[in-house]
Amino acid sequence: MEIYLDTAKVEEIREMAWIVDGVTTNPTLAAQAGRPFREVLQEICHIVRGPVSAEVVAQDEEGMVKEAQELAKIADNIVIKIPVTVEGLKAVRRLKALGIKTNVTLVFSAPQALLAAKCGADYVSPFVGRIDDHGGDGMAVVAEILRIFENYKFPTKVIVASVRHPGHVVAAATLGAPIATVPYPVLQRLFQHPLTDQGIARFLSDWEKVPR
């Protein structure tokens, strides 16, 4: 499974570039980066050679296509994030014909993902954490989407997004989701287990007792 970093903070990306396969951003994350976004994207695309998602803010097809074309000029690994609206999916069709890759975002249901795949989206991003927040089952939605894509052999890849804890990553991997995008603190937690720390402490203290 590929792991993307869900952040626009260049220092986090620089630190974790050795392990991550791509990066996803959104307008909220761009605001947190606190710098001109084009400049930030240029830097990110230089650090990470895998796909880097950047979201449009226009709401109409024409505006989205125009914005996407501008963003796509930044680097050849830019993927355009488009919300799953009627206008958004029309834009996805147009961008497909133009050879610009898309990641359909704000996906909360299997039918939305199906329509995105039919329109030629390269990626869809179901927001599992936000689904859970609203009393739903985010991973059940991912399972439905994976099944549908498999049934019809859609080449669209699922990016499990809005990941809140390591359990989401494990569930995504167990279902065979090809990609999970994780915030920096969750990525840190994937490495950790208290028994690993305790084990190291014990081995080091026992090593002191070994005659030398």
CB nearer to ligand G3P: give 55 or 61: 55
Residue among 129, 136, 166, 178 that touches ligand G3P (CB under 6 A): 129
Residue among 26, 102, 103, 156 that touches ligand G3P (CB under 6 A): 26
Q: Quick check: 24 binds ligand G3P (CB under 6 A)?
A: yes
3-state SS string for the chain = CEEEEECCCHHHHHHHCCCCCEEECCHHHHHHHCCCHHHHHHHHHHHCCCCEEEECCCCCHHHHHHHHHHHHCCCCCEEEEEECCHHHHHHHHHHHHCCCCEEEEEECCHHHHHHHHHCCCCEEEEEHHHHHHCCCCHHHHHHHHHHHHHHHCCCCEEEEECCCCHHHHHHHHHHCCCEEEECHHHHHHHHCCHHHHHHHHHHHHHHCCCCC
C-alpha distances in Å from residue 199, one per residue of 123, 127, 202, 204, 212 = 40, 36, 5, 9, 22
Q: Which of 9, 81, 101, 157 is catalytic?
A: 81
Residues 72-111, one symbol each (x = binds ligand G3P by CB under 6 A, - = not), give ----------------------------------------
Span of 30-38, 116-124, 125-133, 139-147 interacting with ligand G3P by CB under 6 A: 125-133
Record the tokens describing residue 140, joined without a space: 């059940």
- Least gap, CB of 160 to ligand G3P (angstroms): 9
Residue among 79, 161, 179, 180 that touches ligand G3P (CB under 6 A): 161
Q: Quick check: 4 binds ligand G3P (CB under 6 A)?
A: no
Residue among 66, 130, 165, 189 that touches ligand G3P (CB under 6 A): 130
Q: Quick check: 55 binds ligand G3P (CB under 6 A)?
A: no
CB nearer to ligand G3P: give 96 or 130: 130
CB nearer to ligand G3P: give 106 or 151: 106
How many chain residues are in contact with ligand G3P, going by CB under 6 A?
9
- The answer to whether the CB of 79 falls within 8 A of the CB of 52 is yes
Record the tokens describing residue 209, joined without a space: 């007792």
Catalytic residue at 81? yes
- Least gap, CB of 98 to ligand G3P (angstroms): 24
Record the tokens describing residue 102, joined without a space: 């898309």
Catalytic (active-site) positions: 81
- Residues of this chain that interact with ligand G3P (CB under 6 A) are 6, 24, 26, 127, 129-130, 161-162, 181
